[in-house]
Amino acid sequence: MPTYHEERFPIPTPGRLIRELRLRRPPWWLIAALIAVVVATWIPLAMIYHARQTTSRQPRVHFIMDMDRQPKFGPQAAHPWYLDGRAMRLPVEGTVARGRLRHDQHFSLGYRTDDGTPTGKATEFFAALPSQVATVDTKTLLARGKARYDIDCRLCHGTAGGGDGIIHQRGLELKENKWVPPANLLTRTIRGRADGQLYQAISDGVRNMPGFGEQISPFDRWAIVAYVRELQKTQPVAPEPTEQP
C-alpha cells in the first residue's frame, strides 16, 4: 500500500494524517530547556506581584524622570545668586495674584475709598448687597450663608445671633476678667449698620474678633451678611449691652 506522500492524489483522512505526521519524542534536554524557559517567564511576574504587595520606605524607581525630579529651590531654601541668600523673592511691585484684583470696591471691600484704591481711606459703606450676590437665588444664598455662619460665626455669636455661643459661655464659666463678649447681632445698633460695614467687620475683624478675609471668600462673606439680615428679620430686637433687660 503506497504511503500518503507516494500517492499521486492523496486523500487526507484523519487516520492517515496522524500516521504520516506523527513526530518523534523530543530529547530530554530539549524538554528540560523548554520547561526552564517557561519557568523563567514567571520570574518577572513574581517580582511585579511582590513589588505591588509590599511596602517600602525607598522611593520608586524612575526610568523616565520627566518633571518628577527637576533642579529647583524649595520654600525657605538658600540661594547663592542673591545678596540676601534667600530663594523666595518678593513679588514684583504692582503684581496682583490671580483672582485678587479688587477693581470692584463694593464686592471686594464693602466701602468706597477716597482715592479709589483698596489701600485708601474708607469714606462710605455700601448699604446693600453687590450685584454679584443680589442676583443669586435667595434660597440658595441664605443656605450658603447659614452653612458658613455655622462654621465660622456660630461658636461665638450663637445660633440665632444673640452673642451666646459656646465659646462665650465657656468664657463666662472661667470668669476671665479680660473676656470681651461677642457682639449681639440682634441689637438696634447692629441692625442699623450698612451691609458693607458688616462685610468689612467679617473681613478685617472688630476688637478681639479676628478678620476672616483669608479664610472666607468674598461671596461667602456677603452670604453671611444676607443670613444675618434674615436672622434679624425673624428674631426680636435685643437690648443694647448697656441696657438692662
pLDDT tens digits along 105-161: 899 889 988 887 777 788 899 999 998 898 999 999 999 999 999 999 999 999 999
For the ranges 8-12, 59-63, 75-79, the one whose mean pLDDT is highest: 75-79
> Per-residue pLDDT tens for 213-236?
989 999 999 999 999 999 999 999
Phi and psi for 236 in degrees, rounded to 5? -70, 160
Region 183-193 average pLDDT? 93
Share of residues in the chain with pLDDT > 90 (%): 42
Domains recognised in the chain with CATH numbers: 131-234 (1.10.760.10)
> Per-residue pLDDT tens for 189-206?
999 999 999 999 999 998
- Looking at the DSSP bridge assignments, the partners of residue 212 are none
Q: Which distant-in-sequence residues (6+ apart) come within 8 Å of 164 by Cβ?
A: 158
By residue count, the chain amounts to: 245
Burial class (CB in 10 A: 0-12, 13-18, 19+), 201: buried
Residue 10 has pLDDT above 80, yes or no: no
Closest CA to 225 of 106, 101, 49: 106
pLDDT of residue 137: 93
pLDDT of residue 85: 92
pLDDT band of residue 20 (cuts 50, 70, 90) is: low
For cell 441664605, what's the residue?
Answer: 142
pLDDT of residue 39: 93
Q: Which residue has the higher pLDDT, 98 or 231?
A: 231
Closest CA to 212 of 165, 157, 173: 157
Residue 238 has pLDDT above 70, yes or no: yes
Q: What is the mean pLDDT of the chain?
A: 85
